[in-house]
A and B are shown apart, each in its own frame.
Chain A
Amino acid sequence: MSYEKLFESDISNEAAKAWRAQGKKALGVICCHVPEEIFYAADVLPVRMRATNCVDSSAAETWMSSFSCSFAKSILQYWLDGTYELDGLVVSDGCMMASRVYDNAKYINERGDNSKFIMQIGAPRKANARTVPFFRAELQDLIDALEKLTGNKITDEKLKAAAAKCNEARALVNQVYELRREKNPVISGTDMLKLTLSATNMPIDEYIELLKAFLADAKNRAPITDSRARIMLIGSALDNPEYIKVIEEKGGLVVADALCFGARGFNEPLVTDDKDVLTSIAKYYLDRLVCPRMMDKHIEMHDFIIKSVRDYKADGVIYQRMQNCECWGGENVLLEQRLKDEGIPLLTVEREEHMANAGQLSIRAEAFVEMIEKED
């Protein structure tokens, strides 16, 4: 079975079209705190929104101004210009930029033909005994709304079955990540990001089959032997494999990451509790480490980064932060010193969604690689 589709990271409407052709709904999702399990349990295709290859977000900028994060603006651009053909949008208040994509999309929809299903769920910024019940109630609202939209009843059994599917995909992606621990891994960082991004282009069953095919063939792939240094990449939402390619072309092989479209988007398995399946989903999504939007998880995120550097034998960390992305913009206050204490070199770079500064990144990545590369 060919698994090449895993490496097609351009945004594709193919799956959503096919899904909708069966009379079913496909909804856009922003961002990490909207549980895909609930969508699959309602027989709705969740399409995590991204903006790969968006080079002109001028229409969205009219709505969100030049002071907004270009990733969020570009998503709104794709929503407005029809790049995505979906039945609606479900947004959690991941950050204020995500919230404003929701606000503007809702406003535009209501002033137009009001044909889209647009919903927001509140996701707490702390994970504890107070916040989980609140989030559970928000998720129940989502369930109620999806049941009304589709006419499909969402039962605990369906949620558990969906969680099992998502867990299977998570486990398979984690197996691919394991391959990157090797001295000469068989997958580059560029391809790894393509592989995780492609999850947004297809239904989960298809994704699982392709991942299995890839893993079965992994031993036949040529190991990468020409890198000069091993890199861990962290920071703002990155949905453009070309960005990693620039770093890898300079000899910095990206072997680990803390990216919401990468490792962090898959994470550990969701363990459902039969007594209250929805609470276990709420707890999982608040507990998992994906984004520094969670006010009480910064240290945990830093621990994860340091552990990953060790586990994947990375020689240094590249921290890319999107301009106007405040969630990731402040990590250095505490992280920089911690990495220093651990003897882990750090390169901090700013970027925009549009790959406007590829030349500068190339020069800085090359200098960083030269600084951290080790003699064998």
Chain B
Amino acid sequence: MADIKDLEGLVLKGEMTITEFACTKIDASIERMKERNPDLLWTMEIQKFMWDGFRDAHKNGKKLVFYGGSVPTELIAAFDCVGFYLDTIPFRLSTNPSLTAKYIDEAEKYVGASMCGLDKVELGAWLSGAYGLQPDMFIYNSVPCDSSRVAYPAMEKIIGVPTFSFDMPFRRDERGAEYLADQMEDLIAFMEEHTGHKLDWDKLKYYMENANRNFTLQKKCADLRINKPCPMPGRLLVLNGTTNAVACYPIMGDLYESELEAGQMMVDLGMGVCEDEKYRIAMLQNMIWGNAGIMDWMQKEYNAVAVMDAFGFQGDIMYEHMDDRRDCFKTMGRKMQNNPMIHGASGPSEHHVKLVEQIFERYEPNVSMFLGHVGCKHTWASAKMVSDMVQEKFGLPTLYLDLDAIDGRYKSGDEIKAQIAEYFETVVMR
């Protein structure tokens, strides 16, 4: 097994694709975990399922659908296609700053430096010919942000495959739900044309049922965090927040089942992830994908656990009338508006404020942090409204800390830790 640096080198030289890199890295992690931490294998299995599925889609006779923003993955799956969420690439590479840097630099030949690092990596990697995947279709949405609204249409032209795009309404209301339901019908016509198959409602129902199961379990996992001490590590919040891509597959439910089992065992034993829990942190923004180890460090160093974050925290929108086509499509639309990164960030700020208020009421944190990704400018532009509410209703100040979720050159893990440490020592612990 080659060293990770060697693998990175191969990708940098263009001798290995990102897909091969991800699959090889995941296999290596699984091998290590089997030896050292077999109880946690479930955290890697989902990643293997995803990346092997992308790589082997064509080999398995399935069409590969690239998608960006929030799109109804249930429909993609119901047409027997494999959906590849573009953000999966920057998520995966975020712990390899030399790779993200390469693709960001490639994108910045054309786009402004202030564009979100996720979009820059997606664009730069495609322009570098590094994906190792060739899509059959592309579906995107006009969310989450202005960066993606520029990057996706540009990629549509560059990739040059049949493309469908959603227009997401800004507000969350009945008109918007009807509008999105209409667009679901358009998407189905598009999928039928490009797959050659009619929509099989029973298959769609199967994936909608899976989505219901997964979100029910996700809510149960979230509810475990109400316990004091909190039985689940902050790191899992980061993982749960990035699960859009597989939200309708049984394996997602399996992950939550394992998470629930592990968490419930801790509760039953009266144990928390911190030896002596002192601080319960609410993350108003939580995009530290490249430095998720900071969660472990806060637990160890300060007995401080992130109990919930406004990035991955979701409501419980479920499919209720599975034989009512219109109702299902409206629910699908509402779910799209309620995805992580969409719900609190790309609609009216009052949603973000309400989301955080719910978190404070439910999880009773005593520390408030806004670890804001610099590319997420519109979220920063809501931050004062959110933190004012936290101060006024819950009497807590908020740490604002800027970081780049993807580009490790912006701020290192040590710099982030130093700023958090200063906050703990000068504000929280006084």
Interface residues of A (CB under 8 A from B): 62-65, 67-69, 93, 95-97, 99-100, 103-104, 107, 120, 122, 124-126, 130-131, 134, 137, 292-293, 295-296, 298-299, 321, 323-327, 329-334, 336, 350
B170, A99: Cβ atoms closer than 8 Å: yes
Residue among B112, B171, B402 making CB contact with A325, cutoff 8 Å: B112
Can you identify 20 A-B contacts, CB atoms within 8 angstroms? A62-B384, A63-B384, A64-B381, A64-B384, A67-B402, A99-B348, A104-B385, A107-B385, A120-B171, A120-B348, A126-B165, A295-B152, A296-B165, A298-B154, A324-B112, A326-B112, A330-B112, A330-B154, A332-B111, A333-B111
User: In the complex the two chains form, what is the Cα distance from A329 to B111 in whole Å?
Assistant: 6
Contacts of B111 in A (CB 8 A): 329-330, 332-333
Contacts of A103 in B (CB 8 A): 348-350, 381-382, 385
Interface of B toward A, CB cutoff 8 Å = 110-112, 114-116, 123, 142, 145-147, 149-154, 157-158, 165, 167, 169-171, 175-176, 179, 182-183, 186, 346, 348-350, 372, 374, 377-378, 380-385, 402
B112's closest neighbor in chain A, by CB?
Answer: A329
Q: Which of B346, B377, B402 has the most chain A CB atoms closer than 10 A to its own CB?
A: B377
Q: Are B150 and A326 in contact (CB under 8 A)?
A: yes
Q: Which of these, A63, A326, A350, contacts B381 with CB under 8 Å?
A: A63
Which residues on the B side are within 8 Å of A326 (C-beta)?
Answer: 112, 114-116, 145-147, 149-150, 377
Are the CB atoms of B167 and A125 closer together than 8 Å? Answer: yes
Chain B residues near A325 (CB, 8 Å)?
Answer: 112, 114
Nearest residue (CB) in B for A330 is B150
Contact B377 A293 (CB under 8 A): no
Give bound CA distance, A320 to B161, whole Å: 31
CA distance A130 to B187 in the complex (A): 12
Residues A130 and B183 in contact in the complex (CB < 8 Å), given A137-B175, A333-B110? yes
Cβ-neighbour of A330 out of B110, B142, B348, B350 (below 8 A): B110
Q: Which of A120, A293, A333 contacts B149 (CB 8 A)?
A: A293
Given contacts A103-B385, A325-B112, contact A97 B182 (CB under 8 A): no
- Which of chain A's residues have a CB closer than 8 A to the CB of B112? 321, 323-326, 329-330, 350
Which residues of the partner chain B approach A296 to less than 8 Å between Cβ atoms?
Answer: 153, 165
- Determine the chain A residues whose CB is within 8 A of the CB of B374 once the complex forms: 67
CA distance A152 to B427 in the complex (A): 55
CB < 8 Å: which of A65, A95, A298, A332 contacts B146? Answer: A95
Judging by beta carbons under 8 Å apart, are A67 and B165 in contact?
no
* Chain B residues near A137 (CB-CB < 8 A): 175
Question: In the bound complex, do residue B182 and residue A130 qualify as a contact, i.e. CB atoms below 8 Å apart?
Answer: yes
Please judge, given known A-B contacts A125-B142, A137-B175, whether A100 and B378 are in contact too, CB under 8 Å. yes
User: Given A298-B154, A326-B115, A333-B110 in contact, is the A100-B171 Cβ separation under 8 Å?
Assistant: no
Query: Whose C-beta in chain B lies nearest to the C-beta of A100?
Result: B381
Which residues of B are found within 8 Å of A96, using beta-carbon distances? 145-146, 346, 377-378, 381
In the complex, what residues of B have CB within 8 A of residue A124's CB?
167, 169
Complex Cα spacing A255 to B402, Å: 42
Chain A residue at smallest Cβ distance from B380: A65
Can you add 17 more A-B contacts, CB < 8 Å, to A122-B169, A295-B167?
A95-B146, A97-B377, A99-B170, A99-B348, A104-B349, A104-B385, A126-B165, A130-B182, A130-B186, A295-B152, A298-B153, A323-B112, A326-B145, A326-B146, A330-B112, A330-B147, A332-B111
Nearest CB in chain A: distance from B108 CB, A:
10
A96 to B352, CA, bound (A): 14
Q: How far is the CA of A239 from the CA of B401 in the complex (A)?
A: 32
A126 to B153, CA, bound (A): 11
Contacts of A131 in B (CB 8 A): 167
A330–B171 CB distance below 8 A: no
Query: What residue in chain A is nearest B176 (Cβ atoms)?
Result: A122
The residue among B145, B147, B381, B384 with the most chain A CB atoms within 10 A of its own CB is B381
- A299 and B147 contact, CB distance less than 8 A: no
Assess the A334–B157 pair: CB atoms within 8 A.
yes
A23 to chain B, nearest CB (A): 32
Whether B146 pairs with A122 at a CB distance below 8 angstroms is no
List B contacts of A100 (CB < 8 A).
349, 378, 381-382
- Would A330 and B115 be within 8 Å (CB), given that A103-B348, A295-B153 are in contact? yes
In angstroms, how far is the closest chain B Cβ from the Cβ of A219?
43
List the 6 closest A-B pairs by CB distance, nearest first: A329-B112, A330-B150, A96-B378, A326-B146, A100-B381, A103-B349
Contact, CB under 8 Å: B115 / A69: no
A134 to B42, CA, bound (A): 44
With the chains together, A361 CA to B344 CA distance in Å? Answer: 38
Nearest residue, chain B, Cβ from A93 = B170
